[in-house]
Amino acid sequence: MQKPNKRLENQTCIVTGSSSGIGKAVAKAMGSEGANIVVNYHSSKEKAEEVADWIEKNSSCGNALVIKCDVSKEDDVKNMFNKTIDYFGTVDVCVANAGMQIDHPLHEMPLDAWQKVIDVNLTGQFLCAKEAIIEFLKRGMRKDVSKSLGKIIHMSSVHEEIPWAGHANYAASKGALLMLMESICQEYAPHKVRCNSLAPGAIKTDINKEVWSSEKELEKLLKLIPYKRMGVPDDIGSVASWLASDESEYINGTTIFVDGGMTCYPGFATNG
Ligand code: NAD
């Protein structure tokens, strides 16, 4: 992990799905840079509490609060924001990270598998962004902590750009996130809201365990990564905390790919 500074001091960040993987790394990175962190979990309270304990011990000034919430449920999301505002006073940064995969060939994909992935990966991000914007507008500028009214970071994927056979629900959810993120920027940038996406490539987490736990599959995967290593969650954590800070103030309405060059289509390196 990068050497922390205090660039998020006095700011409160909600990180959804932060009991594991990328969300956990983002929560730790932002926490170690001085932010108060809401560690949101869906099912593993114990793991969320471990992340919160780590933040409390390692942050120079931030605190952590653990909140259970299913991001696909509007009442849950409203409750998470209300609890956060009651406890920390406001929300400055929302990292809509929670996501899932349920993979099937398209002609065998049950409607349930389509719907569930869209509900969590797309509707969940809409609900979180909506509540964040409501709070930003209600609260007004906090010039002492940030030049922006508030920051939203969507956790997208290289699959907002690269089609993915056998994963159409996932790719469709991430493709749609691009338009959600850009539309939010267009609508709320005049209010000084910043809304961007991060698009990780292949990052070693539970979501793709079956790939990196098999040597053969890993070898196949590395052919898709020009930089020739799989990413780790901290690769995303460090970029996310920078993107939430004023150091990146003029970045708005864009996707930052953090993928070791995956979107440079290495299959074409030798003329395809
Ligand atoms: P992960 O499985 O470790 O994390 C996903 C998190 O989302 C988990 O903590 C899970 O409990 C949570 N979650 C799932 N459904 C939820 C719900 N309804 N409400 C609240 N939380 C819920 O996997 P990860 O790789 O850390 O994934 C995090 C994000 O990064 C996802 O949006 C994923 O699409 C994206 N991403 C991951 C990769 C990768 O290679 N790992 C690549 C591109 C994008």
Closest ligand 1 atom to the C-alpha of 174?
34
Q: What is the pLDDT of residue 59?
A: 86
Task: Name 199's Cβ contacts closer than 8 Å, sequence gap at least 6.
Answer: 156, 157, 158, 160, 161, 174, 255, 256, 257, 258, 259, 263
- Alpha carbon dihedral 186, 202, 40, 4, in 10-degree steps, equals -90
Find the 120 Cα to ligand 1 centroid distance in Å.
10
Write out pLDDT tens, residues 75-102.
999 999 999 999 999 999 999 999 999 9
Sign, CA dihedral 67-71-75-78, equals positive
Nearest CA to ligand 1 atom 32: 99
Residue range(s) defining the domain that contains residue 156: 12-260
Which CATH number characterizes residue 209's domain? 3.40.50.720
Find the 272 Cα to ligand 1 centroid distance in Å.
32
The answer to whether the CB of 123 falls within 8 A of the CB of 76 is: no
The answer to whether the CB of 191 falls within 8 A of the CB of 137 is: yes
Find the 17 Cα to ligand 1 centroid distance in Å.
6
User: Considering the domain boundaries, does residue 115 fall inside one?
Assistant: yes
User: Considering the domain boundaries, does residue 272 fall inside one?
Assistant: no
Q: What is the pLDDT of residue 272?
A: 58
Closest ligand 1 atom to the C-alpha of 158?
43
Q: What is the pLDDT of residue 2?
A: 53
Q: What is the pLDDT of residue 271?
A: 73
The answer to whether the CB of 133 falls within 8 A of the CB of 53 is: no
Q: How far is CA 40 from CA 26, 35, 51, 178, 199, in A?
A: 12, 15, 10, 23, 20
Catalytically annotated residue among 41, 87, 170, 265:
170
Nearest CA to ligand 1 atom 44: 157
User: Considering the domain boundaries, does residue 166 fall inside one?
Assistant: yes
User: Considering the domain boundaries, does residue 4 fall inside one?
Assistant: no
Residue 250 appears among annotated catalytic residues: no
Query: What DSSP designation does 229 have?
Result: S
Find the 169 Cα to ligand 1 centroid distance in Å.
15
Instruction: Provide the number of structural domains found in the chain.
Output: 1
Tell me, using a 6 A CB cutoff, whether residue 14 lines ligand 1.
no
10-residue stretch averages of pLDDT, the chain, 272 residues long: 78 98 98 97 97 93 94 98 98 98 98 98 99 98 97 98 98 98 98 99 94 94 96 98 98 98 93 66
The answer to whether the CB of 31 falls within 8 A of the CB of 62 is: yes
Residues counted in the chain? 272
